[in-house]
Chain A
Amino acid sequence: MSEKILITGNEALAEAAIRAGLEAYFGYPITPQNEITEYMARRMPEEGRVFVQSESELAAINMVFGGAATGKRVMTSSSSPGISLMQEGISYLSGAELPAVVVNIMRGGPGLGNIAPSQSDYFQATRGGGHGDYRTIVLAPSTVQEMADLMFPAFDLADLYRIVVMVLGDGVLGQMMEPVLLEKKQTHRKLPAKDWALTGCAGRSQNIVKSLDLVVPRLEKRNLMLQEKYRRIEENEVMCEGHLLEDAEIVLVAYGIASRVVRTVVSRARKEQIKAGWIRPVTLWPFPSRQIAAAAERARLFLTVELSYGQMFDDVRIAVAGKAPVHFTGRAGGAIPTVEAVLDEVKKLMQPGKVAVER
């Protein structure tokens, strides 16, 4: 029998990763996610598993590359500037189709920015900050409990699709404490054998893990195969939550920590007779475009709320496809939109007789 314990999001995520079968962790210190690295330094050796503090994020992601190639469950974690350094490695992991989990506890940017929470790496995470036509699955927790829970599907999805799964949190989720039930969540996914792994070629032919193909038609074919895989993921792996959408005239869309502000805003708006509802994407890629498009059949307008200056906003607009105006409100650089400010924005947009024009 498990009991709820009070721990930080970073620690909950780290412990869940271990319970999800993490075999090797590689990382370089950066705030606001040092608790993950420190937790791993303590717990991984206890479990007889691998922990390495790398000399840089560049090295960390390449250690992940090596570890993943052996077929082991591996991960790294960092925050925004470190994730920027990992982009080359993420592209190579994608090209070589190696499963890996990369955690980004986002902080304020650009540049060194600050160590306060942010959601400004959405473009980088969902568009691929590295080179080439690749995708990473992006999971966005919104509670400490979910920081833990999402680690189980994260590793399974990585193995199932031989893909990089990014867990995109932020400084608040990483640092804050909430009661958490730590369990070994069964995902009941049937995972394919890792017959591509580098385990020594005794008794079989040589395995090669690579991304180079100098022959144009062959690399094109490989790209098409990757695209087909990405379509399958878009078809099958969208996760999203919605509430009060049946009669909602205004739909607020937010993920991660911003979605918690939005929940409060929506319940306060309802008390004031404003028909508001919310959608929270859990997977940022694949994006819940269908769910948003369905809501756009009924809703009069959309409001996207982010700790950025409008990144997921683009995806919401693509999904809404002109059926309704899409508005944005948000703050970045470490600031968090307050319930009052977002509620004011909702009221302003919902003024009777007002013609809503985008932005």
Chain B
Amino acid sequence: MPERDAGPATGLPDRMPISLTINGEVRQLDVAPWTSLLDLLRLELGLTGTKKGCDHGQCGACTILLDGRRINACLTLAVMKDGARITTVEGLAAADGGLHPLQAAFVEHDAFQCGYCTPGQLCSAVGLLAEGRARSAEEIREHMSGNLCRCGAYPNIVAAIEQVMQ
């Protein structure tokens, strides 16, 4: 067996303590400095609702809400967000399990097919509504264009968001 070293020679500590509020729950976590928020959620915390489509900030599947703003979790290192408040798709529904109006509208308008882009679309739409930037279908299209849907559910996604916007 070859000698095993302690890991990449980055000069960084192996793990750093941070605190995150995830879907309302305060979590004290030890995370590697190179771990993205996306990998933290999916691989370490078992919150697999947030999806990995590219890991490069090019598809939006990993969109989550960080302090109320939509971001790509794959482009964000977890250690940079010590103290932040995070909402993932698992945290959108009410405590009693009742669907968020956008979740209900997505089901009603068939705003997805395979469902893989859906958590990202939902978090992105929640963020968009909070931004108050979209006033028309045209603007929804524009501001939702960071979230790819290979199934092509776009017209139904727009219809669902429009319904909730009104």
Do A and B come from the same complex? no
